[in-house]
Amino acid sequence: MESATATAVSTTALSPERRELYARLDTKNTAPLWEVLGKIIPPEPTPDIVPVLWRYDEVRPLLLEAGRLLTAREAERRVLVLENPGLRGQSRITTSLYAGLQLILPGEIAPAHRHSMAALRFVMEGTGAYTAVEGERTVMHPGDFILTPSWTYHDHGNPGDVPVIWLDGLDVPIVNLFDASFRESYPGDIQPNTVPDGDSHARYAANMLPVDWTPARPSSPIFNYPYSRSRETLETLYRHGSIHQCHGVKMRFINPTTGGAPMPTIGAFMQLLPKGLSGAPYRATDSTVFAAAEGRGRSRIGDQTLTWGPRDVFVAPSWTAVAHEADDEAVLFSFSDRPAQQALGLWREEAPYFR
């Protein structure tokens, strides 16, 4: 919605004098603010992105077909980008985030590189592939939430015998907003496996830290948050009855050394929706990407109802009311730019319709 003033100005036919002034302004790389004020400073968010859902069963065959046509090495990363229909051609799932579905077939590797963009993985299907980050490998299992922080060398490999597919989420549009993107290849396809498996989990995920530890990065030193533990946590809290009217049982993933988000730009969450839940509407300024880990349900997002099942991915735009319903006990993973907005003092939420 535009302000009354801006609307009045922009809908008034331009006088010849104004038109002539605007032409001269244009030649000096200047422009009249009063013509655009309502558009560039809306009274509340006006996202270009729309609520949308990708059915896993529809996208998976296309990804496997890409798997027949090109190798992961050839592609560098074999990914189908999930493009929000409101921003086609821009490799964005929300205004600030990129997402895609990545496939790695048995015997393949995806070569090592690093970039300014921070990435997360949410494993959709298959076991036996690994991601390596800064010399340490972690085996991927469905439902695991995995980090690749900014400027860390990472590569993937699948020594197993089934295809492995995961959802990638990156802060690509945020880094590019700042024109702060760097990228380089590792010398060699696969970085040396210099750290024993499980090392970062032992060091940082047991409610202890090495006594002389100082952070090397602003991101979490844990890079795999296994589904087995997240799922058990949700189940225990559900049994204990801590159920939020909007979110069911919702947890945020943390950097255990700070209590903050796992990475500065991307926050991630996991929630259990009890069977039969009809959640109250909730909205926040962080447009959110959801992936169903388990169960079936529906989410009313603005004026649309998206019906989801396991591994479907869907999007709720900024400041658009979201209300979840679950037919079975369901688990939703989600991620957004919430920590970036919070760091900048921008984030707002509202759940005004509690019953």
Q: Judge contact between 349 and 283, C-beta under 8 A.
A: yes
251 sits in which H/E element: strand 249-252
Distance CA 304, CA 257 (A): 39
Radius of gyration of the chain (CA): 22
Residues between 101 and 130 that touch ligand 1HN (CB under 6 A): 102, 110, 115, 117, 119
Q: Find the part of the chain contacting ligand 1HN (CB under 6 A) among 23-31, 97-105, 216-224, 237-245.
A: 97-105
Q: How many residues bind ligand 1HN (CB under 6 A)?
A: 13
Interface residue with ligand 1HN, options 78, 154, 300, 338 (CB under 6 A)? 154
347 token code pair: 């984030």
Whose Cβ is closer to ligand 1HN: residue 77's or residue 203's?
Answer: 77
Q: Name 65's Cβ contacts closer than 8 Å, sequence gap at least 6.
A: none
Under DSSP, is residue 7 helix (H, G, I), strand (E, B) or coil? helix
Q: Cβ of residue 277: shortest distance to ligand 1HN, in angstroms?
A: 33
Task: Give the C-alpha separation, 316 to 284, whole Å.
Answer: 10
Please state the closest distance from residue 132 (CB atom) to ligand 1HN, in A: 10
Q: CB of residue 99 vs ligand 1HN: minimum separation in angstroms?
A: 9
Residue in 51, 100, 142, 169 binding ligand 1HN, rule: CB under 6 A: 100
Nearer to ligand 1HN, 154 or 247 (CB): 154
CB-wise, 113 or 201, nearer to ligand 1HN?
113
79 near ligand 1HN (CB under 6 A): yes
The residue among 263, 280, 273, 278 whose CA lies nearest residue 329 is 273
Question: SS3 for 188?
Answer: coil
Tokens, residue 287: 């447009």
Distance separating alpha carbons of residues 234 and 252, to the nearest angstrom: 11
In angstroms, what is the minimal distance from the CB of 119 to ligand 1HN? 6
Residues that bind ligand 1HN (CB under 6 A): 77, 79, 98, 100, 102, 110, 115, 117, 119, 154, 168, 170, 172
